[in-house]
Amino acid sequence: MSTAYFSHPDCRRHDMGAGHPECPQRLTAIDDWLLATGIDLALTRVEAQKVDLADVERAHTHGYVAEISDILKACEASGESRAVDPDTVACPNTWSAALRAAGAAVQATEMVLNGGCENAFCAVRPPGHHATRDQSMGFCFFNNVAVAARYALDVRGLQRVAIVDFDVHHGNGTEDIIAGDERVLMVSIFQHPLYPYNGAVPKGENMINVPVPAYTKGAEIRALIESMWMPALEAFKPEMIFISAGFDAHREDDLGQLGLVESDYEWMTQRIKSVADKHSQGRIVSCLEGGYNLDALARSVGVHLRVLAGI
């Protein structure tokens, strides 16, 4: 089984300041774990290219892309950082990192659809699933998964794709972008109430939102996924699956209060992969979202990749 691993050094140069949980060390922790466990040997490493802004505009408005591009380019030129919301800071290296992160998702989509690999994982930052059509927020600038999903539909001509989001925080940006697009089914599970404090009522009929209270553990989440996600995914028969892979629902992660452990992420990945194997020719592109306890993040990405790579 062939699994491609997309990343780029530019993604580590995006730095929102000392003490910020969305830090460059996240990618280092993942890499160190993959090397230490030998998982790295089963992966095909690919250096992420920069995205074409025309592809970004398949998910975001032209005005937003122009505005955020100007802000990030100004930071790059001046060498100074700038806050774009209370949680999200653009630094001089953010422009390049954001282009690589979205570019990885599009490039991975191309590689999977062209048969260069069966599935792919994008170890990138900044993450994406809080970026709406016209707003950056929640550590996110471009919505990497939504950009890739729209690319698969609009450029590569797929008719049905699914987006699966298991980050502890609701993927409000992805929901905003794809609500009402009948070509996309979005299924998600997230702690509620928790930032961004929405998602309990879906914006469109093409999404299955599963809000759960704090301290929900793995057994309950597995049961909800089995009863609510799986029938919808089976009925939709996606031609490709995109994953917003956030690992901050882990019980050791302080940004949420859910109780997942590595075996839960392994199980979720297996269930997603079973749908992909049945309906999507195994085609999956998974993009890193949250996960802020470095050890828990590294271990959880490790089991996610073991399932994707079949090792």
Q: Which of 255, 171, 177 is nearest to 209 (CA)?
A: 171
Q: CA-to-CA distance for 206 and 204, rounded, in angstroms?
A: 5
Alpha-carbon distances, residue 284 vs 84, 186, 223, 265 (angstroms): 32, 14, 23, 16
- Quickly count: other Cβ atoms within 10 Å of residue 108's Cβ: 29
Helix pair 94-113, 144-154: axis angle to 10 deg: 40
Q: Which of 27, 304, 23 is nearest to 167 (CA)?
A: 304
The number of angstroms, rounded, from the C-alpha of 48 to the middle of its chain's C-alpha atoms is 15
Alpha-carbon distances, residue 71 vs 60, 96, 149 (angstroms): 16, 12, 25
Concerning whether 130 is annotated as a catalytic residue, the answer is yes
The number of angstroms, rounded, from the C-alpha of 179 to the middle of its chain's C-alpha atoms is 17
Of 8, 14, 129, 130, catalytic: 130
139 in Cβ contact with 150 (< 8 Å): no
238 in Cβ contact with 183 (< 8 Å): no
Report the b/e string of 48-57 with b at 16+ CB within 10 A: bebbeeebbb
Which residues are designated catalytic? 130
